[in-house]
Amino acid sequence: MNTVRRVMLVIGLIAVLAVGVSAQEAVAEANLVDACVENYDPAVDYFPAKAEIEYAENFSVEYFNNYKVVTILPWPGAEAPQTYVLVQCGTPAPEGFEDAVTVEVPVQRFVAMATTILPALEAQGVLDRLIGVDTTLFTSSEAVLEMAEAGDVAEIGGGGSGDTSTWNCC
């Protein structure tokens, strides 16, 4: 093989590899579930694992590179859907969603105002992010009771009234 062909072959291989590497960098390997983006790149898809909804109705999930929009029709006959914008923490919130609830994900700290959600939180392994409950009076989760006893989870009280002025934990 002559020298010109070798040089052209090497240049071609480098070009192909460079394109392949840059294409791979444009997609995160997995959704960030325990961390925030440290160096935001608007070309990167930070939600490569996407929910595929097959049977559920009355809600949708639209994916964008650094946020997803969850739209829920809360009950039959509702006048308007509820919209939630879930923004990957460490990235900018999108414009145009002023009327939507915007939440940075992954959620780092939260309060559970109903005991019925506690088993699901425990099963998902996110109890370490729980900082408050309405009351431990009806709580059967040993882990949550131990956290409350240690002072890691506050009893907010109020019966789910949502009056955050009474919350001493957050």
Q: Residue 73: its pLDDT value, please?
A: 93
Nearest to 153 by CA among 123, 124, 130: 130
Token pair 């957050």: residue:
170
The CA distance from 145 to 68, in Å, is 34
- The whole-model pTM stands at 0.71
Full pLDDT tens readout for the chain, 170 residues: 454 444 344 344 344 333 333 334 467 788 998 899 999 999 999 999 999 999 999 999 999 999 999 999 999 889 999 999 999 999 999 999 999 999 999 999 999 999 999 999 999 999 999 999 999 998 999 999 999 999 999 999 866 555 565 555 55
Q: Residue 68: its pLDDT value, please?
A: 98
| DSSP code per residue over 86-120 | EEETTSPPPSS-TTSEEEEES---EEE--GGGHHH
The CA distance from 5 to 18, in Å, is 20
Nearest to 65 by CA among 78, 51, 50: 50
Whether the CB-CB separation of 49 and 39 falls below 8 Å is answered with no
Which two tokens mark 130? 């729980």
